[in-house]
Amino acid sequence: MNPWEIEDSGISEESVIQNGNRMFCGNGFMGYRGTVDEADKSSMTGLIVNGIYDRQGDKWREPVNFPNPLFIQLSFEGQPLTLKSDSLNSHVQKLNFRYGIFSRKTLWNCNGAELTVESERFLSMSEKNILCLRYKITSNKDITLGIIQKIDEEVYDANGPHFKIEKKSDVGEGKCGEILMCRTLEKQLPFAVARISDFCSDTITLKAAVPQIITVYAAVFTNLDENNSPMAPVPVEQFASISVLQAEKAGWETLLQNHKKAWDKIWEDGDVVIEGDEEARLAQKNLRYSLYHLQSIAPRGRKALSIPARGLSAQTYKGAVFWDTELFIFPYFLYTQPELACEFIEYRIKTLEGAKRKAAAYGYEGAFYAWESQEDGDDACSDYNVTDVFTKRPVRTYFRDKQIHINAAIVYCICQYVEVTGDTLILQEGGLEVIFECAKFYISRCIYMPLKDRYEVHDVIGPDEYHERVNNNAYTNKMILFTLQKAVEFAEQQTETSPSPASHSFTKYIPLAKDICKKLYIPSPNAQGLIPQFDSYFDMEDCSLETVRSRLLDPKEYWGGANGVASHTQIIKQADTIVMLNLFDKDYDSAVLNANYDYYNPRTEHGSSLSACMYGMVACKTGRLKDAEEFYKKTSCVDISGNSKQWAGLIYIGGTHPAAQGGSWMMVVYGFCGFSIRENKIQIKQNLPAAWKKVSFTAMVGKEKYQVNVTREGYELCRK
Ligand code: BGC
């Protein structure tokens, strides 16, 4: 069994959709779902390019699903050969996640002839606009088949259509292929998709046991691509045509070797090696699978892009960027490829104007970042994010209006970046402005309570989305405090050294910011050491998860909002106070960590894939190794097992889960290895599972790159 491979032979509708996610291939510029070559929109095929969105009418804005240039379908006696055909004998598909290579082997029985299709595809990691497919057909008897090869323009859309085709043309140089010149509907963004095949007929006559191999090269270009100069943009179709012809000239073998070399380079620093027995090998596989997914969606090929909450795997969650990136995904890149981590910050700098528009629209100062952010930073989160299963009516949710903790996650991330890399340039290039604008928003959002002589923060939603519009969410308040402290610190430093225009804009807020820092109410532990998630949390009905679940009348019912089964109970969706205790563990003693872990864990549905890793890390910090191992399994298996939540009310929310994948890395490195940075020095407080002998990973701190080897007995740091 290849430790870098997963396989599946499911052909049910559900398996096809799940494998679309599980066997996803991507190179950061674009992603392609793990569907078979002949799949069409009914199988939710998908080719998503990072950062390209469109809106149809008043439906949700979402990523554009591009025309599929790798479509090949065989037919026998006029009947298409698909996974649903009666003639299907067997099917297996695989993903090699060391190199992002999808493959399949499918057998059909065509009137006594056994027909085998084997194919392999990859999205080139070295040539970001190129996709390659090799398709091999073999029959044990002479046979003639029909074959359709095309750029399939009939794409799956959740809220489409999103483009029109303006022109179809030949690919040039007499090659067999085509170019589609398209334009998105809302922003009229031009893009082109090109394809060349080395087989040109619509029938194939096979001799017994003599394989026919078809190689397809495809190219996808938008006029926003990095290699297209904004000053003198080359028409995208010209780009696509040149690139696809070049790809064809380079040939499959060369492209594959370059692609593999690029992945080898990624793994040099991006890998984490877990040594030990069988269980450790499983943990290793799950971790590498998670890291593969992160690497295949990390923005490459265009500047200042981030990672959407469902990666590039689907149109779910509107292809939007959430706090997932900053708090869950960012740490892995920070220590292994800080230049990519920096892109996430650049993305927030780029979208600051959108955040300012949002703050102003609510009547606040500064910037209020989009809960669901797309290319311009305007909020894609709609007022009605859930559909009621009973009435079929949209349910008003307040995620967009009230999850103000998003700002602090961004500030936290910038501060981490500066602390770990020592790179302060990002501050001058917009980072400071982001911090100050976020702080201004919080200053205008905090309320002074004269009778209590303290500031409070009302009407928010914390990470636990089931309880909307609460007051003094402990996590939010603590993160606001962090933001304001950092803003003051940076503003004072800047005015002392080189006053930047950004710090100047914050100077007049410093006294108020300092006052809030002194008097902001941070819910503190009660006599039992428990911190209330928000005001009156402990007064809500205290029942078990099972009781709440038993009240569901429909399995797809939404648990939160005004009438949800959890809304009026202490049952929460995901880690909330525990996120706070994890980020700020040094501010609390271990009795508080223990008490809150014991209290909140049984009351948490873990209904979000962001939950397990946070509990897992606190479990490590409090010496609950068994729990931690369970949480690790949960976070690292979300996508490899496909066992994730697929519905929120009637809305499909499937796709891949980068936050849980980033959570796998955090659990291993921060959790089991107890890795942290104190005063620029690496600290290790390991607590490895019994089956693990050693964990090795790369950590870049300042200008130094270290190989960190952690065993049960100790650890070593070697310069790399
Ligand atoms: C979670 C959020 C998360 C979002 C995207 C929601 O279900 O509650 O915390 O940011 O999914 O992953």
Neighbours of 231 (CB within 10 A): 5
What is the model's pLDDT at position 232? 59
Mean pLDDT of 316-344: 97
Interval 390-400: pLDDT, tens: 999 989 999 99
| CA-closest candidate to residue 47, choices 163, 209, 169, 175 | 163
Backbone φ and ψ of 504, nearest 5°:
-60, -40
Same domain, 253 and 395: no
Judged against a pLDDT cut of 70, whether residue 89 lies above it is answered with yes
What is the model's pLDDT at position 698? 98
Same domain, 610 and 525: yes
What is the model's pLDDT at position 131? 98
Same domain, 179 and 278: no
Mean pLDDT of 578-586: 98
Q: Is the CB of 381 under 6 A from ligand 1?
A: no
Amino acid at 468: E
Ligand 1, atom 11: nearest CA belongs to which residue?
608
pTM, 2 dp: 0.97
Judged against a pLDDT cut of 90, whether residue 327 lies above it is answered with yes
Cα(240) to centroid(ligand 1), Å: 36
Going from the C-alpha of 399 to that of each of 439, 459, 561, 614, the distances in angstroms are 20, 11, 10, 21
Judged against a pLDDT cut of 70, whether residue 227 lies above it is answered with no
Q: Beta strands 212-222 and 190-197: pairing type?
A: antiparallel
Is the CB of residue 582 less than 8 Å from the CB of residue 617?
Answer: yes
Is the CB of residue 435 less than 8 Å from the CB of residue 486?
Answer: yes
Q: Which atom of ligand 1 is nearest to the CA of 573?
A: 8
Query: What's the mean pLDDT when you consider all of the chain?
Result: 95
Q: Is the CB of 477 under 6 A from ligand 1?
A: no
What is the model's pLDDT at position 34? 98
| CA-closest candidate to residue 236, choices 219, 248, 251, 249 | 219
Three-class secondary structure of residue 340 per DSSP? helix
Residue 6: which H helix or E strand, with range?
strand 5-8
Mean pLDDT of 160-186: 95
The C-alpha atoms of residue 128 and residue 247 are separated, in whole angstroms, by 11
What is the model's pLDDT at position 644? 76
353 is catalytic: no
Angle CA 648–465–592, to nearest 5: 135
Ligand 1, atom 7: nearest CA belongs to which residue?
608
Residue after which a domain boundary falls, among 245, 270, 295:
270
The C-alpha atoms of residue 654 and residue 656 are separated, in whole angstroms, by 7
What is the model's pLDDT at position 648? 65
pLDDT band at 340 (very low <50, low <70, confident <90, very high): very high
| Length of the chain (residues) | 720
Interval 499-517: pLDDT, tens: 677 767 899 999 999 999 9
Buried residues in 661-700 as b, exposed as e (16+ CB within 10 A): bbbbbbbbbbbbbbbeeeeeebebebbbbeebebbbbbbb
Q: Is the CB of 373 under 6 A from ligand 1?
A: no
Mean pLDDT of 346-354: 98
Tell how far CA 441 is from the center of its chain.
27
Angle between helices 611-621 and 590-600 (to 10 degrees): 140
pLDDT band at 665 (very low <50, low <70, confident <90, very high): very high
| CA-closest candidate to residue 465, choices 584, 599, 605 | 605
Beta-bridged to residue 707, according to DSSP, are 698, 718
Judged against a pLDDT cut of 90, whether residue 244 lies above it is answered with yes
Interval 513-535: pLDDT, tens: 999 999 999 999 999 999 999 99
| CA-closest candidate to residue 306, choices 332, 290, 287, 324 | 324
What is the model's pLDDT at position 474? 98
Start-to-end Cα distance in the chain: 31
What DSSP designation does 641 have?
Answer: H
What is the model's pLDDT at position 664? 98
Q: Is the CB of 324 under 6 A from ligand 1?
A: yes
Q: Is the CB of 280 under 6 A from ligand 1?
A: no
574 marked ligand binding residue: yes
Q: Is the CB of 322 under 6 A from ligand 1?
A: yes
The C-alpha atoms of residue 146 and residue 274 are separated, in whole angstroms, by 49
Going from the C-alpha of 653 to that of each of 375, 631, 641, the distances in angstroms are 20, 22, 16
The C-alpha atoms of residue 643 and residue 236 are separated, in whole angstroms, by 40
Beta-bridged to residue 651, according to DSSP, are 648
The C-alpha atoms of residue 59 and residue 158 are separated, in whole angstroms, by 9
Q: Is the CB of 463 under 6 A from ligand 1?
A: yes
533 marked ligand binding residue: no
Beta-bridged to residue 470, according to DSSP, are 460
Same domain, 362 and 464: yes
Q: Which atom of ligand 1 is nearest to the CA of 464?
A: 8
Helices and strands (DSSP H and E) totals, the chain: 20, 29
Is the CB of residue 366 less than 8 Å from the CB of residue 443?
Answer: yes
Q: Which atom of ligand 1 is nearest to the CA of 463?
A: 9
**Segments forming the whole domain that contains residue 24:** 5-270
The C-alpha atoms of residue 675 and residue 446 are separated, in whole angstroms, by 35
Cα(163) to centroid(ligand 1), Å: 29
The residue annotated as part of the active site, out of 465, 557, 605, 629, is 465
Same domain, 487 and 452: yes
Amino acid at 205: T
Same domain, 421 and 359: yes
Q: Is the CB of 399 under 6 A from ligand 1?
A: no
Backbone φ and ψ of 196, nearest 5°:
-130, 135
Beta-bridged to residue 140, according to DSSP, are none
Q: Is the CB of 307 under 6 A from ligand 1?
A: no
The C-alpha atoms of residue 717 and residue 441 are separated, in whole angstroms, by 42
Is the CB of residue 477 less than 8 Å from the CB of residue 520?
Answer: yes
The C-alpha atoms of residue 412 and residue 415 are separated, in whole angstroms, by 5
Cα(28) to centroid(ligand 1), Å: 22
Buried residues in 345-368 as b, exposed as e (16+ CB within 10 A): bbbbbbbbebbbbbbeeeebbbbb
Is the CB of residue 514 less than 8 Å from the CB of residue 488?
Answer: yes
Is the CB of residue 529 less than 8 Å from the CB of residue 435?
Answer: no
Residue after which a domain boundary falls, among 270, 298, 326:
270
Beta-bridged to residue 455, according to DSSP, are 448, 520
Q: Is the CB of 343 under 6 A from ligand 1?
A: no
> Which of the listed residues 293, 322, 402, 651 should we mutate to test ligand 1's pocket, taking the one with most ligand atoms within 8 A of CB?
322
Q: Which atom of ligand 1 is nearest to the CA of 323?
A: 10
- The CATH number linked to 168 is 2.70.98.40
Judged against a pLDDT cut of 80, whether residue 497 lies above it is answered with no
Ligand 1, atom 1: nearest CA belongs to which residue?
608
238 marked ligand binding residue: no
> Which of the listed residues 371, 608, 645 should we mutate to test ligand 1's pocket, taking the one with most ligand atoms within 8 A of CB?
608
- Alpha-helical (H) ranges within 533-624 are 545-550, 577-583, 590-600, 611-621
Give me the long-range contacts of 545-552 (CB less than 8 A, separation at least 24): 545/571, 545/602, 545/603, 545/604, 545/605, 548/605
Amino acid at 293: H
Same domain, 196 and 322: no
Mean pLDDT of 467-475: 98
Interval 128-165: pLDDT, tens: 999 999 999 999 999 999 999 999 999 999 999 999 99
Same domain, 247 and 352: no
| CA-closest candidate to residue 617, choices 588, 591, 580, 644 | 580
Residue 196: which H helix or E strand, with range?
strand 190-197
Worst-scoring range by mean pLDDT, 19-23, 108-112, 231-235, 414-418? 231-235
Mean pLDDT of 606-631: 97
Cα(610) to centroid(ligand 1), Å: 7
Is the CB of residue 600 less than 8 Å from the CB of residue 578?
Answer: yes
Same domain, 372 and 251: no
Same domain, 130 and 245: yes
The C-alpha atoms of residue 612 and residue 608 are separated, in whole angstroms, by 8
pLDDT band at 64 (very low <50, low <70, confident <90, very high): very high
Is the CB of residue 461 less than 8 Å from the CB of residue 576?
Answer: no
Cα(317) to centroid(ligand 1), Å: 9
Indicate left, alpha or beta for 54 from its phi (over 0: left) and psi (-120 to 50: alpha): beta
Neighbours of 594 (CB within 10 A): 16
Residue after which a domain boundary falls, among 239, 255, 270:
270
Same domain, 281 and 236: no
84 marked ligand binding residue: no
Q: How many domains does the chain have?
A: 2
Tokens of 631: 């949480």
What is the model's pLDDT at position 387? 85
Is the CB of residue 587 less than 8 Å from the CB of residue 474?
Answer: no
Q: CB burial class (10 A; 0-12, 13-18, 19+) of residue 424? A: middle
The C-alpha atoms of residue 71 and residue 651 are separated, in whole angstroms, by 28
Amino acid at 91: H
The C-alpha atoms of residue 524 and residue 592 are separated, in whole angstroms, by 10
Q: Which atom of ligand 1 is nearest to the CA of 659?
A: 12
Angle CA 425–335–413, to nearest 5: 55
> Which of the listed residues 307, 324, 405, 609 should we mutate to test ligand 1's pocket, taking the one with most ligand atoms within 8 A of CB?
324
Tell how far CA 69 is from the center of its chain.
24
> Which of the listed residues 371, 403, 610 should we mutate to test ligand 1's pocket, taking the one with most ligand atoms within 8 A of CB?
610
- The CATH number linked to 346 is 1.50.10.10
Q: Is the CB of 659 under 6 A from ligand 1?
A: yes
Peptide bond into 338 cis (omega under 30): no
Same domain, 146 and 184: yes
The strands making up 704-711's β-sheet, listed across from edge to edge, are 272-276, 692-701, 704-711, 715-719
Beta-bridged to residue 205, according to DSSP, are 144
